[in-house]
Chain A
Amino acid sequence: GAGVSQTPSNKVTEKGKYVELRCDPISGHTALYWYRQSLGQGPEFLIYFQGTGAADDSGLPNDRFFAVRPEGSVSTLKIQRTERGDSAVYLCASSPSGGAATDTQYFGPGTRLTVL
């Protein structure tokens, strides 16, 4: 079956612009996670969805970042008034239930965001 997909694969934008990043999780997976990875570092947690609701958004760096998952499947990460420091690879992961530490997370290839 298909894995996690993310679009676009690359996004170049100008400082101050608005961007949307999309994640299509594995079909049937109820848990969805967004992470951000800067060059040479490990991924950092941003937000976690269980179904349609954001169960934990404690990793969002500020109120310019927002994410939705209206039908419990596809999720969109939205960044307003982008800053050069937002440049990173944004990774999405899904897992079957998200309730157990043994629940494997499957990652997408990421969206590389560059803010000029």
Chain B
Amino acid sequence: QKEVEQNSGPLSVPEGAIASLNCTYSDRGSQSFFWYRQYSGKSPELIMSIYSNGDKEDGRFTAQLNKASQYVSLLIRDSQPSDSATYLCAVLKGGNNRKLIWGLGTSLAVNP
């Protein structure tokens, strides 16, 4: 089992729809969770960070964290073609060796 798992996709949604991206992790001691977006040929850029259970909203983006079920999700409302990218989930492991563990990413395609 990978430490951080994401569906590779591609996830295809029509313009204006809600895109739902999911990420599960194995380390129960994980403390911080991040969503990055990576356009083809570019480097990852941070979209959201979340640290506590519940929802965190920023514009069209909402991150949801459920530590008991060990999953974190990202919702993109009113999806735009410019949202087409790979979305990477990153999890900060707990303990002494604190480092970010990355999922392989979910490819999202928003169709006009």
> Does B bind A?
no
A: residues with CB less than 8 A from B are none
Residue positions of B touching A, CB distance < 8 A: none
